[in-house]
Structure 1
């Protein structure tokens, strides 16, 4: 039994508006479940985003299905909620094996076993092969299985490191069928797609870059990917079995391997597959020729991680890319007929009010259709985490570490100051005539978004009342 905990409600009360308008299926769990099922092991999945059950009622529902083991996949913000469920399970059935994996388990590692006694095993790294071997061994001899941390007579111990899966095409398509409400319950960010149903896809693992704020503890620094043929078949499967009409390639580096993407575009266009898509790209990979390929093969929107408009801040945290060149590349995307989304971050170590205002002014000059602004969060697996307290105040409250709360305050700044700048960023960008016109066009470009927006208008208005825009 796989469990995907919900995590902290960032609004404090009422519905979490972020999940009303942006909810992706738990692809990591789905991939592991599909792999186990391909080897004859029955799996079930409880995605807590898709059930009203919580606490004791949820634990009782899990136990009523008589699982042989329960595996939790947790981010930092959802870990304590997941552990609370695990404790309830252990109280009622002490012999039930409890396994934790995911980003938080991989980044913190064996110390979690010392602090949280209801956990029996940690899966460190990719979970497909490790969970298969752990399951077929009947959860015995775990210390000999690569990629596992467990308790022994000498305390907690971690086995050898699990080798990465070399050929991702060997993995079956994710077990979407194990989600009772897929694809109805799941939806990409509002106004970021032309059609529905839609979903997210990951076609690669790892990243060779070294950004200070990125956690690579699960998939490491390498870069592995599905072949173009596999990706096209994956999209065909989603369209045929679930009616999917649009996907978001959630890969950090979808365009990293140019030959792969060129071949994918060629195959998809040739197959006339009626599935459009969004992707994330790095600016240094983009040129007019590649953009033409993307557009012809059905790409609707390209997202770029811009992060900051202050050159000194960028140099401290990621590979530098000239700010003037950013504007040139974004204009190429717009010229090709695709939408452009910019991804920014506020509250990075070394930032000041002046540098954040510089970022806001810079973003307003860029040819962006929309933005996403996250609140910098130093996750345990990120390089910046090691000395984060030297750069400001860090309130390490795991449930709040979801990029929607300022848990880190750079030196010389305050939390109210950061909140004001964040709200100013959102307000100044979205309350412009050009942006209003762009969203008006969504009446025919993204009709499902409009309908979804109107259905949830009461929640939006309640949210607006709480904000100090």
Structure 2
């Protein structure tokens, strides 16, 4: 068995949601792959959803490659399918080390390892640095269970070493490795991680501290996506794109100055309390065709209980602003 690393976004057995049949690649495994490549470690990917593979097709492709390390990502609605794939691979390739990443394992690492025996390890939280260190430990004969952010079995005990190490300077993580994926209609970009709001229905996967990439690094990625992958549509996956209006304005102004707004259509999330008319007009000029913001309820009492910091009047004001800006 070679030292090959394979990262897989499993397909849904029965597609139910729009994100089960996406026209965009999986940014999570792409970011992990990009960081591995940046550090001189070769890897490959299978995006079962983007490629419209069946579960059986995905299993056959994985077994055909016989990876030494298999990384699977899964949200909660995909965890059973991910384990089905892991178990089938383990049956044919028992030496393959299976590592789970993604939201489900990150929030329920102990339960997941107890329920699903074919997962050998879980990377908890942001995966780029932790998974890179995990791979190095495997290749160098070290102890991967000692790495920050790695959960593992120790006999009947589950060992959890906190959440994965995070990068305060997101530029250091590099760019998603879209070159490993089939062509897509849309290529997502994250310019920042974290959200300061206290919505009690949110898992806050990146924490409440907001960490930003430099404007130059984000613009370089968008230009690369245009030149190398023919990108014409980009969604910003920031939890709240306008959480810092100076950052949002700097990005929009750079997009306009570089002429990117004539080549790419943008979309992003905003918060009702972070949008005003000048910001909305700048988004429009930068070729944001629309934005999204949550309106979970129109009931003032329910909205107060959610601790989002908005009421019906804030939502209506934001909607009027966006409408005036023609977004």
Give the TM-score taking structure 2 as reference length. 0.91
Tell whether the 8 Å contact from 2:194 to 2:207 is kept in structure 1 after alignment.
yes
Label 1:199 to 1:57 Cα distance change in 2 as closer, same or farther (>3 A): closer
Gaps of 5+ in 1: 184-196, 339-469
Q: How is 1:351-430 mapped onto 2 (pairs within 5 angstroms)? A: none
Q: Does 1:103 align with 2:90?
A: no
Q: Which has the larger radius of gyration?
A: 1
Label 1:107 to 1:289 Cα distance change in 2 as closer, same or farther (>3 A): same
Return the offset for 1:256.
Answer: 0.6
Q: Does 1:212 align with 2:207?
A: no
Find the partner of 1:286 among 275, 278, 283: 275
| Cα deviation digits, residues 283-317 of structure 1 (max 9, x gap) | 11111121222222222112111111111111111
Provide the C-alpha distance between the structure 1 equivalents of 2:19 and 2:71, rounded to a whole number of angstroms. 25
Name the count of aligned residue pairs. Answer: 318
Provide the C-alpha distance between the structure 1 equivalents of 2:172 and 2:106, rounded to a whole number of angstroms. 23
Tell whether the 8 Å contact from 1:7 to 1:79 is kept in structure 2 after alignment.
no
Q: How is 1:447-466 mapped onto 2 (pairs within 5 angstroms)? A: none
Provide the C-alpha distance between the structure 2 equivalents of 1:18 and 1:279, rounded to a whole number of angstroms. 16
Q: How is 1:146-295 mapped onto 2 (pairs within 5 angstroms)? A: 146-153=148-155, 155-180=157-182, 182-183=183-184, 197-216=185-204, 218-273=205-260, 274-295=263-284
Give the TM-score taking structure 1 as reference length. 0.64
Tell whether the 8 Å contact from 2:192 to 2:212 is kept in structure 1 after alignment.
yes
- 1:33 maps to which residue? 33
| Cα deviation digits, residues 105-140 of structure 1 (max 9, x gap) | 001012322222111111011111111111111164
Tell whether the 8 Å contact from 2:149 to 2:161 is kept in structure 1 after alignment.
yes
Return the offset for 1:280.
Answer: 1.0
Q: Does 1:332 align with 2:309?
A: no
Tell whether the 8 Å contact from 2:70 to 2:98 is kept in structure 1 after alignment.
yes
Tell whether the 8 Å contact from 1:110 to 1:122 is kept in structure 2 after alignment.
no
Tell whether the 8 Å contact from 1:228 to 1:261 is kept in structure 2 after alignment.
no
Label 1:41 to 1:116 Cα distance change in 2 as closer, same or farther (>3 A): same
Give SS of 1:3's match: strand
| Cα deviation digits, residues 153-198 of structure 1 (max 9, x gap) | 4622112443321111112211111112x21xxxxxxxxxxxxx43
C-alpha RMSD of the superposition? 2.0
Provide the C-alpha distance between the structure 1 equivalents of 2:51 and 2:223, rounded to a whole number of angstroms. 29
Provide the C-alpha distance between the structure 2 equivalents of 1:128 and 1:108, rounded to a whole number of angstroms. 19
Tell whether the 8 Å contact from 2:304 to 2:311 is kept in structure 1 after alignment.
no
- 1:300 maps to which residue? 289
- 2:299 maps to which residue? 310
Provide the C-alpha distance between the structure 2 equivalents of 1:142 and 1:18, rounded to a whole number of angstroms. 32
Provide the C-alpha distance between the structure 1 equivalents of 2:301 and 2:137, rounded to a whole number of angstroms. 52
Gaps of 5+ in 2: 1-5
Give SS of 1:78's match: helix
Provide the C-alpha distance between the structure 1 equivalents of 2:289 and 2:180, rounded to a whole number of angstroms. 29
